[in-house]
Amino acid sequence: MGLKLGDTAPNFTADTTEGNIDFHEWLGDGWGVLMSHPADFTPVCTTEIGATARLKDEFDKRGAKAIVVSVDSVEDHKKWAKDIEATQGVGLNLPLVGDTDRTVSELYDMIHPNQGDTSTVRSVFVIDPNKKIRMTLTYPKSAGRNFNEILRVIDSLQLTDNHKVTTPADWQAGDDVIISPALSDDDAKDLFPEGWNELTPYLRMVKQPK
């Protein structure tokens, strides 16, 4: 059975392009985004690493760090980094894990099923400061990830962890949110004294808390 939301993210030690790390120590008390890519020197993966590198400031704003796993070696990662910088216009600024023995890939069930090879799929795990898995996504090899969506989910998780709200479909930071259905109207008045827009008794829209 694979990892589920709320499970503790398994710890591991691994060699990376930034040296040997203990995953939980590397995460520290911040948020983490653990991703896998199928292989070095491949087109979609090159654009994905570039996209992640360009968003480093956005991850930093959220107290989050990204790390990427593949079954290629650290030596290959470092050679590939030159292609990433040349084609994507940004240098490598996140660790790439060398997982040639597939220890991490198997720990997180990242190996592509029914494809006749041992490369990883495009998995994403968002991990909170308590080392709990809060979101998972799995993309096929042919489809590059939407990294703005990953940031959006982190925004939602950080907001809803601190306020009694949930976020609606297609929500973006700053949009109206939903008052938690578990909150009575009387309790909601204390938290949202400016009121809300009640579409139904269970769908109460309110301005996003600051």
Count, residues in the chain: 210
Please, what are the domains in the chain? 13-145 (3.40.30.10), 163-206 (3.30.1020.10)
Per-residue model confidence as pLDDT tens digits over 169-183: 999 999 999 999 999
Query: Which strands, in side-by-side order, build the sheet including 122-127?
Result: 19-22, 13-16, 96-98, 64-70, 31-36, 122-127, 133-139
Query: What is the mean pLDDT of the segment spanning 119-123?
Result: 80
Per-residue model confidence as pLDDT tens digits over 51-75: 999 999 999 999 999 999 999 999 9
Confidence of residue 203 (pLDDT cuts 50, 70, 90): very high
Confidence of residue 186 (pLDDT cuts 50, 70, 90): very high
| Given the residues 33, 35, 45, 153, the one annotated as active site | 45
Nearest 10 degrees: CA dihedral of 25, 158, 65, 120?
100
Q: Is 45 a catalytic residue?
A: yes
DSSP 114-147: TSSS--B-EEEEEE-TTSBEEEEEEE-TTS---H
Rounded Cα gap, residues 155 and 140, in angstroms: 25
Query: What is the mean pLDDT of the segment spanning 106-122?
Result: 75
pLDDT in the model for residue 100 = 94
Confidence of residue 193 (pLDDT cuts 50, 70, 90): very high
Q: Long-range contacts: 81-84, Cβ < 8 Å, 24+?
A: 81/17, 83/41, 83/46, 84/46, 84/49, 84/50, 84/53
pLDDT in the model for residue 115 = 57
Query: What is the mean pLDDT of the segment spanning 115-144?
Result: 87
Selected residue with higher pLDDT from 155 and 115:
155
Selected residue with higher pLDDT from 113 and 205:
205
DSSP strand pairing (31-36 vs 64-70):
parallel
Rounded Cα gap, residues 141 and 120, in angstroms: 9
Nearest 10 degrees: CA dihedral of 82, 87, 92, 94?
-130
pLDDT in the model for residue 113 = 65
* Maximum Cα–Cα distance across the chain: 61
Residue 116 above 70 pLDDT? no
Rounded Cα gap, residues 160 and 154, in angstroms: 10
